[in-house]
Amino acid sequence: MNLLDKIKEPADVKKLNNQELELLATEIRRELVRTVARTGGHLAPNLGVVELTLALHSVFDLPRDKIIWDVGHQCYVHKMLTGRRSQFSTLRQFGGLSGFPKRAESPYDTFDTGHSSTSISAALGMALARDLKGEDYQVVAVIGDGALTGGMAFEAMNHAGHLKASLIVVLNDNEMSISSPVGGMAAYLSRLRTDPMYSRGKEELENLLNRLPHVGPRVLKIIDRIKDSFKYLVVPGMLFEELGFTYLGPIEGHNIARLKEVLQRARATRGPVLVHVITTKGKGYRPAETHPGRFHGVGPFDPDTGEPLTAGGPPTYTSVFGAELVRQGEKNNRLVAITAAMPEGTGLIPFARRFPKRFFDVGIAEQHALTMAAGLAAAGLKPVVAIYSTFLQRAVDQVIHDIALMELPVVLAIDRAGLVGEDGETHQGLFDLALLRSIPRMVIMAPKDEQELRHMLVTAIQHNGPTALRYPRGAGVGVPLTGAAQPLPIGKGEVLRQGRDVAILALGPLVYAALAAAGELAARGIEAAVINPRFVKPLDAELILTWAAKTGRLVTVEEHVLAGGFGSAVLELLAANGRERTRVQCLGVKDEFVPQGKPAVLREHLGLTPAGIIKAVQQVLEEEPMLTRHKLGTREISGG
């Protein structure tokens, strides 16, 4: 029996000595690589925190003490050590273990995360609640150097320092966000890591400063000032100290004995403490250490070589977007591209390489990205912000207040819209339409395939006002990518198939599921029209009202929550035009969060498939039980 087999709960980790913990670390790494090679997941971040997680479990009393994992993508080791190892093979699968911390999954998961830079705020909240209730436990936020670039982390540190609340922030510094981290904080951390002055003990330096002679008040003032400047030069972590934190570090994050020692010290310190831990992203697995960005989040791969297992296939929406943006950039030197720490994920690398001066990675700072785009637009440029649907949620006020109110021509290229799959609840892109549709002046589009995405990008770039186009994660439909992209008439949909019994309005690539459904329905004697609405705002009112009148029955289909989505927009249109009596079935996501799973499995689960559409069509037909199919074919439609 190996050591890992004996670990059922954190108390078992506490029984191990440092040598045994090192052996356990090796076993954990082996299991991480074996499992993630099959399931896909965030391998490199987890390989980097093996010793840190073991040290945290050794020093703190879980679940009495609380650990909050920022982003949460590095919580796999924590899950293995907290009674979930037997389910580890189900990681990120439908019905299996989540790839992120989940309170509903285990009492050892104290706070659900997924979006970056929330951990210190949550930890502060818990610490304040503990103190108000007169309780006694430790609260630890583990945050990466990338996540520390997010504004919320600064807001929380500023406040925690002000309150002098006792909490511990462990800064896991691996010199990487998904790609290279951005900005002054990254540079500061780098100086802390590399300057030999900083490896000296902080106390030693402070003692030295205090031993400087005290003389008359004027001289004292000057000396104090010199001491302060000197301190900035030589005392490690002065920035954190100024914010009110006790800074401990930097510490070698793969040395368990040292980690335990410093965490014990942090535990015994009153007020906010920051423990600066230096780790290697991907530690212990050569392909991940060599390519930490690629192994940040991976699909299934061959564990022997690190090579991905996925076969070829159509290009992704992301890559088609990226290539078209470069083409448009060649024609228009006012075009600039912005990402918030996701240059690879949003397909902007080709643009960044071709036009380095017109590309901006702002770090994990979605709000800043949107307002900066507004500034660029106000000063005459054409910004395209490429952003995941889920992360756009962070910056809705910036879209309203800084973009739409001034009618600034900013393009939101919303990637990962709809079901994203194995990342689950925190990452599904299911709210963007509801959030954006309510904003005056927004033009919102959804392409049915990757070729239409090209046309929509040009439409957005040419429009003189705020626009958004939403497209899914993963491979396109496989349609030919021919000719130059052409602007589409704003607010106009297209009829893809005629039919007199019902009209199916399917948004985005679900159009193809609707066409498949219509084919099957035809074989059963039901004639379903299929419409690609293209625009969620402005809706093609004329087209939709015409088909409502023609068939009296509509089915709307969307990969989005039903509340406030495309179907809602159609219902509002019908109501506003006295067509309330049109029979409508709306397919989409009901009032619930959608868990992790392969997108195809999730679509099956949610009925967003040809079979689900057929069922919805049957329902709108059955709402009129007096009619037979034959009668339907000859029935005179009175309309709404």
Ligand X SMILES: CC(=O)[C@@H](O)[C@H](O)COP(=O)(O)O
Q: Which residues bind ligand TPP (CB under 6 A)?
A: 45, 48, 71, 73-74, 115-116, 144-147, 172, 174, 176-178, 281, 296, 340-341, 364, 366, 391, 394
Half-sphere exposure of 501 (CA within 13 A, CB side): 23
State which residue, 144 or 253, has the beta carbon closest to Mg ion: 144
71 is an interface residue for ligand X by CB under 6 A: yes
Among 243, 277, 420, 617, binds ligand X (CB under 6 A): 420
Q: Rounded distance, CA 437 to CA 36, Å?
A: 38
Distance of alpha carbon 377 from the chain centroid: 25
Q: Which does 79 bind (CB under 5 to 8 A by kind): ligand X, ligand TPP, Mg ion, none?
A: none
Q: Which does 45 bind (CB under 5 to 8 A by kind): ligand X, Mg ion, ligand TPP, none?
A: ligand TPP
345 is an interface residue for ligand X by CB under 6 A: yes
**Longest CA span, the chain:** 106
Residues numbered 270 to 329 that lie near ligand X (CB under 6 A) are 296-297
Residue at 612: amino acid letter: G
Residues numbered 473 to 502 that lie near ligand X (CB under 6 A) are 473
267 is catalytic: no
Among 10, 72, 144, 447, binds Mg ion (CB under 5 A): 144
Residue from 271, 279, 274 nearest 237 by CA: 274
394 is catalytic: yes
Query: Hey, what are 395's tokens?
Result: 């910056």
Query: Hey, what are 610's tokens?
Result: 């040809």
281 is catalytic: yes
Residues at the binding site are: 73, 114-116, 145-147, 174, 285, 366
State which residue, 98 or 246, has the beta carbon closest to ligand X: 98
Q: Interacting stretch for Mg ion, rule CB under 5 A, among 23-31, 95-103, 175-183, 324-332?
A: 175-183
418 is an interface residue for Mg ion by CB under 5 A: no
State which residue, 389 or 582, has the beta carbon closest to ligand X: 389
Q: Rounded distance, CA 147 to CA 379, Å?
A: 30
Calculated CA dihedral for residues 497, 499, 501, 506, nearest 10 degrees:
10
Q: Rounded distance, CA 39 to CA 51, Å?
A: 23
Instruction: Tell the burial category of 111 from Cβ atoms under 10 Å away from its Cβ (0-12, 13-18, 19+).
Output: buried
State which residue, 342 or 562, has the beta carbon closest to Mg ion: 342
Q: Which does 420 bind (CB under 5 to 8 A by kind): ligand X, Mg ion, ligand TPP, none?
A: ligand X
Q: Rounded distance, CA 119 to CA 155, Å?
A: 11
Among 119, 174, 346, 367, binds Mg ion (CB under 5 A): 174
Q: Which does 415 bind (CB under 5 to 8 A by kind): ligand X, Mg ion, ligand TPP, none?
A: none
Which is it for strands 553-561 and 502-506: parallel, antiparallel or unpaired? parallel
27 contacts 72 by C-beta, under 8 angstroms: no
* Locus of tokens 């057929």: 614
Q: Rounded distance, CA 309 to CA 417, Å?
A: 25
Binding site for Mg ion (CB under 5 A): 144-146, 174, 176
Residues with a catalytic annotation lie at 281, 366, 394
Binding site for ligand X (CB under 6 A): 71, 73, 296-297, 345, 416, 420, 423, 427, 473
